[in-house]
């Protein structure tokens, strides 16, 4: 019995010491960062993109997830701003798929704007940025219903929508510079490869928000526009297997990457895992370049913090269950558990790893 008590006490002491070391390490990391220059809040709204940019008391929103997300986004903004009324310098709609633009307007049944985030009474918006859709439908109308509803909603609220001259356009937000990438007008539909990305910079550090970017050609085109590596990557297309190709990962070499998929509006086991086997390709491409990978599953999301001397990454501890806010101090940021591989998948990944090492030996 005494031995059992001793073991229990030893385990408890070890746990306390470990918690203290982790806390001290986190505090030291924050101190080493110097002054905090800006924040990227990648919110957990499920298999969607909902991102808030914040710097020096100024805010912007990149995509708004699915219809109905407006009140949640507004609630989070009010908490960050410490005020009921929030002004956004700008909003960005990367492309008009419902899991990105839907929350801005909510209704897509026809071309009429009905309600959504941009109609909320406590928010004012300086400008909106969205790629021009030139594709003509069979009935002679331009663009899809959601796209037209977004334009109508902005017009109703008196928000100027900038649709031309977006490629490499630089926007300032406090201490942040946000450069629009892959912003040229497109013809033929609101396809993922045409979605507009953002390069976010503060101090000496960079982040790429890759929207639903897919296809090697488009990804490498985005990399060419950026012209170098980044510290943080919001993975394209939620981390599906058609995103983050091997050359894109090798060139970009992010230190940290986050997937926007997983369980929506809920905090459970905090077992951070990818939601589908289709993620394995991109996961391994990022693993091979040493990126620490996270997913917005089971937490409120991930906050990337720009500092004068580095970047820090934190779990967002505010989240909703059935629309009601809850705060959990015990939420921590955990790396993704490696995806479970079948026998043949494991063999394929083994040989891919060998091939990757060979390419590295020859500097390819």
DSSP line for 96-153: --HHHHHHHHB--SSSS--BSGGG-TTEEEEEEEE--B-PBPTTS-BS-HHHHHHHHH
On the question of pLDDT at 112 being above 70, the answer is no
Tell me what percent of the chain is helix, strand and coil, each rounded to the nearest 5: 35, 25, 40
CB-CB contact of 174 with 142 (8 Å) = no
Confidence band of 124 (pLDDT split at 50, 70, 90): very high
Backbone phi and psi for residue 331, each to the nearest 5 degrees, phi listed first:
-75, 130
Of residues 171 and 329, more confidence is placed in 171
Q: Rounded to the nearest 10 degrees, how much is the dihedral formed by the CA atoms of 156, 160, 161, 164?
A: 150
Question: What pLDDT was estimated at residue 20?
Answer: 44
Is residue 318 within 8 Å of residue 257, measured between CB atoms?
A: no
Say which range, 5-19, 99-113, 200-214, 274-288, has the weakest mean pLDDT: 5-19
Give per-residue pLDDT as tens, 193-209: 889 999 999 999 999 99
CA distance 233 to 302: 12
DSSP three-state, residue 63? strand
DSSP letter for 193, please.
G
Q: Is the dihedral of CA 139, 144, 148, 153 positive or negative?
A: positive
List the chain domain ranges. 1-32, 36-361
Q: Model confidence over 230-256: pLDDT tens digits?
A: 999 999 998 887 889 988 999 999 999
In the predicted structure, residue 223 carries a pLDDT above the cut 90? yes
Q: By percentage, how much of the chain surpasses pLDDT 70?
A: 77
- What's the confidence (pLDDT) of residue 10? 38
Weakest-pLDDT range from 62-66, 197-201, 282-286, 305-309: 282-286
Q: What are phi and psi of 334, to 5 degrees?
A: -120, 140
Taking all residues of the chain, what is their mean pLDDT, rounded to a whole number?
82
Query: Are 101 and 147 in contact, with CB atoms under 8 Å apart?
Result: yes
Residue 222 to residue 194: CA distance in whole angstroms? 11
In CATH terms, 36-361 corresponds, of 3.40.109.10, 3.50.50.60, 3.60.15.10, 3.90.25.10, to 3.60.15.10
pLDDT at 14: 37
Asked if the model's pLDDT at residue 73 lies above 60, the reply is yes
Alpha helices in the chain (DSSP H): 2-32, 70-81, 98-105, 145-157, 216-226, 246-252, 280-288, 343-361
More confidently predicted of 328 and 107? 328
Q: What angle do CA 158, 164, 168 make, to 5 degrees?
A: 115
Q: Give tens-digit pLDDT for 312-363.
A: 999 998 877 656 777 888 888 888 877 777 777 778 777 777 777 777 777 6
**pTM score of the predicted model:** 0.85
pLDDT of residue 282: 87
Per the CB < 8 A criterion, the answer to whether 291 and 256 are in contact is yes
């Amino acid at each position: 019995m005494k031995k059992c008590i001793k073991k229990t006490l030893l385990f408890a002491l070890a746990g306390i010491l470990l918690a203290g070391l982790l806390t001290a390490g986190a505090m030291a990391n924050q101190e080493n960062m110097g002054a905090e220059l800006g924040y990227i809040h990648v919110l957990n709204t499920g298999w969607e993109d909902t991102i808030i940019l914040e710097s020096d008391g100024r805010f912007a929103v990149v995509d708004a997830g699915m219809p109905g997300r407006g009140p949640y986004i507004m609630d989070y903004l009010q908490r960050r701003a410490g005020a009921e009324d929030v002004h956004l310098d700008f909003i960005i709609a990367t492309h008009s798929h419902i899991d990105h633009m839907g929350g801005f307007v909510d209704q897509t049944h026809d071309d009429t704007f009905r309600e959504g985030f941009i109609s909320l009474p406590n928010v004012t918006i300086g400008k909106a940025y969205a790629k021009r859709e030139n594709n003509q439908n069979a009935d002679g109308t331009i663009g899809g219903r959601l796209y037209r509803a977004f334009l109508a909603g902005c017009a109703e609220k008196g928000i100027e929508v900038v649709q031309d001259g977006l490629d490499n356009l630089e926007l300032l937000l406090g201490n942040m510079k946000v450069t629009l990438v892959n912003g040229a007008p497109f013809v033929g539909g609101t396809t993922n490869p045409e979605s507009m990305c953002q390069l976010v910079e503060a101090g000496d550090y960079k982040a790429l928000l890759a929207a639903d970017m897919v296809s090697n050609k488009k990804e490498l085109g985005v990399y060419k526009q950026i012209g170098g590596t980044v510290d943080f990557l919001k993975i394209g297309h939620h981390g599906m297997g058609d995103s983050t190709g091997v050359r894109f990962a090798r060139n970009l070499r992010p230190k940290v990457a986050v997937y926007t998929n997983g369980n929506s509006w809920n905090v459970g086991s905090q077992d951070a895992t990818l939601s589908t086997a289709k993620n394995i390709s991109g996961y391994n491409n990022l693993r091979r370049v040493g990126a620490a990978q996270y997913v917005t599953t089971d937490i409120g999301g991930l906050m990337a913090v720009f500092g004068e001397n580095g970047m820090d990454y934190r779990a967002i501890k505010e989240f909703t269950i059935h629309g009601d806010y809850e705060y959990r101090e015990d939420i921590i940021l955990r790396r993704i558990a490696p995806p479970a591989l079948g026998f043949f998948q494991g063999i394929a990944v083994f040989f891919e790893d060998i091939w990757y090492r060979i390419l590295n030996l020859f500097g390819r």
